[in-house]
Amino acid sequence: MDNRPVTVLLIDDQAIVAESVRRMLSSEPDIVFHFCQDPAKAIETANEIQPTVILQDLIMPDIDGLMLVKFFRANKPTRDVPLIVLSSKEEPTIKAQAFALGANDYLVKLPDKLEVIARIRYHSRGYIALLERNEAYEKLAESQKELAAEIAGAERYVRSLLPKKWKEEISIDWKFVPSAQLGGDMFGYHWIDKEHLAIYLLDVSGHGVSSSLLAVSAANVLSGRSLQDTDFRDPAQVLSRLNDVFQMERQDNKYFTIWYGVFNKTTRRLTYSNAGHPDALVYTGPDCASASLHQLTSTDPIIGMMPEGMPFENRTLELGPHARLLVYSDGVFEIEQPDGVMWQFPQFVEFVSQLLPDDQPLVDRIHDKTRTLRGQELFADDWSIVEARL
């Protein structure tokens, strides 16, 4: 809180009135008193000393007191400064005009000392509180602006690390729509060797730059295959080693879910392990028309929450000549609609099943559906999906 003094500016052509007010306030060490005898200089003086309350006479030579009230309210630096008008007598009509023009109070001069001090303090407290609120809002707005710039920079960095889409024998499409605060999603895919293709998608807890940085760190470990003594063709072993390295107490209490799968293009076997991540979907069969949709369930724990050495489980699925794999974050199906009703995983799976056996790409159609459900472009969480045609 600012320790602003109570600053009084008196506008009055009579020096004797100024001396009377000065004496009233002389016993109050926290009240600073200023006097302007020339009403033509009232606005200039107020702009210079920045009073917390203005006392202004209504009857002065060369200028109408009510017009000066209007000038004070039209002047930006004094627009909100409390204004107490002083009059020689109680005149309801003049009082009403003064209030209509923006005066905060009306006193018949000169009132009792206790009343003057009480009114000065009352109006000054309110004005000082207004100034402090405005400053707090300005600091918050600046902080939010800086945070938004920081998040925008992090978003650009995350996007720069995402893999190129493939249009080859194995084609891979994806979409990444970050939330306003970044939700910690990251994904990738790469050939481990000539036979084995790795695909993964992870989601770090929380939101913001710190979550994104952890996601990037984990993704760099996977893309660079920098886990020692790890066979990256073995998803369970990969997740176990990730759990060892990314213990949450060493990561600012952040943890992450991940789906990691390896496809052997010769045997057409998909081996995967899942650390608390949403189940992937695969549509496979001898051809598009006769393929069926499979939910790749798993119950392994989240990365970082369990002690080091935690074993994870591999699961496998033999894929037919036609196979389409969908891996995604929970932001794809946990969609809060404008009426507050949540679109959840069963509805998501049902929608995907309705798009099949159509052989058209799925990513954009799923995004269009969820964007329509959401009723706006931004989602509450990162929206990430990878579609691989294997």
Tokens of 189: 């895919």
Given this model, what pLDDT does residue 317 score?
95
Tokens of 144: 């939010």
User: For the whole model, what pTM was predicted?
Assistant: 0.67
Given this model, what pLDDT does residue 2 score?
52
Inter-CA distances, 203 with 44, 230, 277, 295, Å: 59, 22, 8, 19
Tokens of 332: 């794809």
CB 203 within 8 A of CB 330: yes
Q: Would strands 171-177 and 166-167 be described as parallel, antiparallel, or unpaired?
A: antiparallel
Given this model, what pLDDT does residue 158 score?
80
Residue 264, strand partner residues:
196, 269
Q: How far apart are CA 273 and CA 298, in angstroms?
A: 7
Q: Among 124, 151, 137, 69, which residue's Cα sits nearest to residue 102?
A: 69
Given this model, what pLDDT does residue 148 score?
63
Average pLDDT of adjacent 10-residue blocks, the chain of 390 residues: 82 93 93 94 95 93 90 94 91 91 91 92 93 84 69 75 89 90 87 96 88 89 90 96 94 94 96 96 92 90 92 95 95 92 94 88 94 88 94
Q: How far apart are CA 198 and CA 195, in angstroms?
A: 10
Phi then psi for residue 116, to 5 deg, are -60, -50
Phi then psi for residue 61, to 5 deg, are -70, 150
Q: How far apart are CA 83 and CA 80, in angstroms?
A: 9
Question: Is 59 strand, coil or helix?
Answer: strand
What is the 3-state secondary structure of 6-46? EEEEEECCCHHHHHHHHHHHCCCCCEEEEEECCHHHHHHHH
Q: Would strands 383-389 and 171-177 be described as parallel, antiparallel, or unpaired?
A: antiparallel
The one-character DSSP state at 102 is T
Burial of 283 by CB count in 10 Å (0-12 exposed, 13-18 middle, 19+ buried)? Answer: buried
Domains and CATH numbers, the chain: 6-135 (3.40.50.2300), 162-389 (3.60.40.10)
Given this model, what pLDDT does residue 1 score?
42
